[in-house]
Chain A
Amino acid sequence: MLDAGRSSLGSVSARSVLGWVYRFILFPIGQMLVFIVGAALVLTLLSYLLALLFPEPRPNISLMTQVNRQLPGMIVSGITIGFVYAMIALGYTLVYGVLKFINFAHSEIFMFGSVVGFEVMQRLAEGGNLPGWSPVLLVAFVVLAAMLASGLLAVLIERVAYRPLRGAPRLVPLISAIGVSFFMIDVVRAFQAITRNDFNLTYPLNNLEWIRNPVKLAIGEATVNIRPTQFIVVLGAVVTLIALNYFVNGTKLGRGIRAVSQDMATAGLMGINVNRMISLTFFVGGAFGGAAGALFGMNVGTVTPFVGFIPGIKAFTAAVLGGIGNITGALLGGLTLGLIESFLNGLLVYFPVLGQRYTDVFAFSVLILILIFRPSGLLGERVDEKV
């Protein structure tokens, strides 16, 4: 915190520029790389262990060769979905850090982002000038629009449904949040019913040449098809995450948010406008949810007003896994959960009884297990309830 204060004074020396680059660009990237490599390594080892334990789960299928063949593909898709989870989890974690409250409606903010992303792209496509846009500009435009819309929505929700309830018993704002979540689903549904008479919103990606051709990557006997949308998701996530890290740790507003999250009363006494900081937190969290929604939509292609629930729950699991209230924890939890899910998706198929059908159940089981055995998450500190 002190460092940030000094650099904002304007003493631009080569040393401070390097320090800035290290703190706000290299360090977060390094952190992400460490998390990805770590989680992927552990899961790879586990899947080889599984292959040794059950060489032939189904007749004539060797699990070892399947693991060899699928490993890079599973890692790539795991990283993609993991970044999406991490970005949603940030919304849960930021709000929890400040208000100590689970923003149940965050999954709908994510959904709203994906729907706004669709609307923007669809409107552009209907105008006929979608192919003319350069890929980078188009993606940036769509994501930024979704971020703005979702961020404003989150601020609005906080203002209308949570602020009047501040200071009430814990369950009261939670119930209100559940209400907001259900309300939002049907509002978006009604809007789509009126304007399009259809709830399955398919991103108009078909007439974009550059988005259709996957990049083929061959590693040994394994080939991975990396879709450009996966690149977009990962790149978009990395850029926004770096921006968030800078915002929270390098700016005055971020310092305000941190102060409010550490001690709301004292922060208020120090002249910080607590309500504005809370609104800002909701805006940032919502913007991340929206960005994740737009990126997710581009990746899967079709979204509906119901799309938020499962990713929302999984992202919450990710936030708890990493330690809720902890930004780095959200990143770690999201990437880990994404990779776990992708490995399970890839490998459970070979076990006749289980199959892929139980992957969603698995996310819940992970959540329950963490909450039972380490409620503070991987990076969280243990706090006991005080009377």
Chain B
Amino acid sequence: MAANSVRQTPWTTVRATLKRPVVAGAMLIFYIVAAVVILSSLDRGNLWFPFYSTLLFPTLILSPFFVLAAPVQGWFKGVLVVVLLFVAIPYLGMRDTSYLELVIQICIFAGLALGLNIVVGFAGLLDLGYIAFFAVGAYMWAMFTSGAPTVFNINGWLVPETAFYIFIIFGIIVAAIVGILLGLPVLRLRGDYLAIVTLGFGEMIRVIANNLDQPINFTNGSQGLFDVGRPPIPFFMRDGVLTAERMLGLSITNVEPLSQQLLFYFIAIGIVAIIIMVARRLDNSPIGRAWTAIREDEVAAIAMGVPLVRMKLMAFAMGASFAGAIGVIYGAKQTFVSPESFSLIQSISILAMVIVGGMGGIRGALLGAVIVTLLNLLVLKNLSLQINALRNVDFIVPIINFRIQNWPSQLEPAKYERLIFGLLLILMMIFRPAGLLPEPRRRMELAQKKEEEAILGEGASPAADVLNDQPTVTARPDAEQA
């Protein structure tokens, strides 16, 4: 600080001005208002609409993170975030439902990322089958309300749609139980084995869901459960939409679906808020510290009296229960649940969120969820839409003279999410293993590691690792024994 104040360059003056709470606050307000106004005035018919919305929407959705990082007072941050969540985004959603849909998806994935963050980030158990618990929640609600010819439907065991909120709680409980059941046999395994086994469990749940239409039809097999029930729209939601329509002078034709979407939006925000709260409390509790101890050094943790099995099971159960609750919401929102939605790629995408944001941090997991979901559902999708739009008008890219119509039809960006996830994982691991918003303890750890490496010299780093490692079974030549 002292060094900076000695030289008064124009840049430092600008920075000092920007750091004043009033200026920063005004800029934030201007930024958010500008983003909302520009976004809501975009014309869907425009040829370059996908391109513009890809540029603008992330700026709005990422603004809470700027708000939280800005040098303004706490209450002001709170007000801004609340206004953003309860005014700006619903308003935008009324103008264009696809944005609302996107935000709901982001909330769903944020909940999942926070849940996985407990298992992977807090307790250090790499779970590649996390989507299984999500599937448990989604299937639970879907089985009891679907119009598909399942055993529940045929025997009239369906539950009324008002039971949705109770089922969120059921989802939490059942997913936690499944988490404990899956966790019990695998907890003795070391990190990398655990990853493969959880991957196996995830695939098993998918295959079972795929095949449980015989002999008794529980899941309707690969056709999936359709006509899943949705929670009834409360009267104030519909009234609210109508009032907003009158006040803002909009003409909303789809009041019913819009209020439904808004309801899901508020439910999802509520659940994510609860999850954030629980995760924060857990992190600062004896349980959270026990998880950290297990993550850092399992043997040392046992030696210090941390009940290993109970704590690991608890991490599994907590992570799973979040996914279960989110799964119930997902099932109701999509009104269609099929095994396809719960494949390995989903587990990996959630892992990518946790890693991009920063393992072990709550804000990091949220940021990761926003970034990865936007990449997947907005950027890639809009790229496809843009290419198709340009294909229809026979656009020729200037300079390189490339006819968009020559773009191979199979090369549709929306279907290349694996490329993005894979690249993200590799690049993050190589260049920023602690994530974009690193958790303080992890940042310390990595810095320490680097120091050690610097002391040992570069050539010695693999050797140092081996010295710390246990001697393992090696490829022994059998012929020698003969």
Interface residues of A (CB under 8 A from B): 1, 3, 23-24, 27, 31, 93-94, 97, 100-102, 160-161, 164-168, 170-176, 178-187, 189-190, 192-194, 197-199, 245, 248-249, 257-258, 261-265, 268, 274, 309, 313, 316, 320, 323-328, 352-353, 355, 357-358, 360-361, 364-365, 367-368, 371-372, 375-376, 380-381, 383-387
Contact = CB atoms under 8 A, between A and B. Distances in A.
Task: Name A's interface SS.
Answer: helix
Contact of B472 (A27, A100, A170, A175): A100
A182 B425 contact: yes
Interface in B187-233: 188-193, 195-197, 199-201, 203-204, 207-208, 210-211, 214-215
B224 to A, nearest CB: 16
B475 A24 contact: no
Interface string B282-318: 0000000000000000011000000000000000000
B422 interface: yes
Contact of A249 (B411, B426, B453, B477): B477
A271 to B, nearest CB: 13
Which A-B residue pairs are the 10 nearest by beta carbons? A179-B425, A183-B422, A182-B422, A364-B200, A186-B419, A193-B410, A265-B463, A179-B426, A167-B461, A176-B429
A265 B426 contact: no
Contacts of A262: 474
Given A173-B429, A361-B208, A274 B472 contact: no
A15 B429 CA distance: 54
Contacts of B408: 193-194, 197
Contacts of B203: 313, 360-361, 364
Nearest to A191: B411
B439 to A, nearest CB: 14
Contact of A187 (B410, B419, B466, B478): B419
Interface residue tally of chain B, by bracket?
35 or more
Contacts of B348: 178, 182
Contacts of B466: 263-265
B473 A380 contact: yes
Contacts of A268: 459, 463
A141 to B, nearest CB: 29
A258 B200 contact: no
B136 to A, nearest CB: 16
B33 to A, nearest CB: 39
A280 B93 CA distance: 56
B207 A358 contact: yes
Given A182-B422, A265-B467, A97 B416 contact: no
Nearest to A309: B344
B478 A31 contact: yes
Contact of A325 (B188, B423, B473, B480): B473
A185 B418 contact: yes
B211 A357 contact: yes
Contacts, number: 215
A176 B425 contact: yes
B475 A327 contact: yes
A151 B46 CA distance: 49
A364 B128 CA distance: 14
Given A176-B425, A357-B207, A198 B410 contact: yes
Given A186-B419, A364-B201, A176 B411 contact: no
A171 to B, nearest CB: 5
B473 A186 contact: no
Interface of B: 124, 126, 128, 185-186, 188-193, 195-197, 199-201, 203-204, 207-208, 210-211, 214-215, 299-300, 344-345, 348, 351, 355, 408-411, 416, 418-419, 421-426, 429-430, 433, 449, 453, 459, 461-467, 469-480, 482
Contact of A386 (B424, B429, B470): B470
A264 B467 CA distance: 9
A186 B416 contact: yes
B251 to A, nearest CB: 42
Nearest to A181: B422
A368 to B, nearest CB: 6
Given A160-B426, A186-B418, 5 more contacts: A182-B348, A248-B477, A268-B463, A274-B462, A387-B300
22 contacts: A1-B477, A1-B480, A3-B479, A27-B479, A168-B429, A172-B429, A175-B355, A182-B348, A182-B419, A183-B423, A185-B418, A186-B419, A245-B479, A249-B477, A249-B480, A264-B463, A323-B473, A325-B472, A357-B210, A371-B193, A375-B193, A384-B470
Contacts of B126: 171, 174-175
A264 B469 CA distance: 11
Contacts of A353: 214-215
B221 to A, nearest CB: 10
A23 B472 contact: no
B410 A199 contact: yes
Contacts of B470: 383-386
Which of B464, B467, B473 has the most A CB atoms < 10 Å from its CB?
B473
A192 B188 CA distance: 42
A99 to B, nearest CB: 9
Nearest to B188: A372
A297 B479 CA distance: 32
B429 A165 contact: yes
B185 A368 contact: yes
B352 to A, nearest CB: 8
Given A175-B355, A264-B463, A368 B186 contact: yes
B473 A175 contact: no
A263 B471 CA distance: 8
B18 to A, nearest CB: 36
Nearest to A381: B473
Contacts of B211: 355, 357-358
B368 to A, nearest CB: 13
Given A171-B126, A383-B473, A180 B426 contact: yes
A82 to B, nearest CB: 19
Contact of B425 (A94, A175, A365, A367): A175
B349 to A, nearest CB: 9
Contacts of B185: 368, 372
A161 B430 contact: yes
Contact of A190 (B204, B409, B419, B429): B419
Contact of A180 (B197, B351, B422, B462): B422
Contacts of B345: 182
Contacts of A178: 128, 348, 351, 422, 425
Candidate in A23, A263, A323, A361 with the most chain B CB atoms within 10 angstroms: A361
A349 to B, nearest CB: 13
Nearest to B462: A166
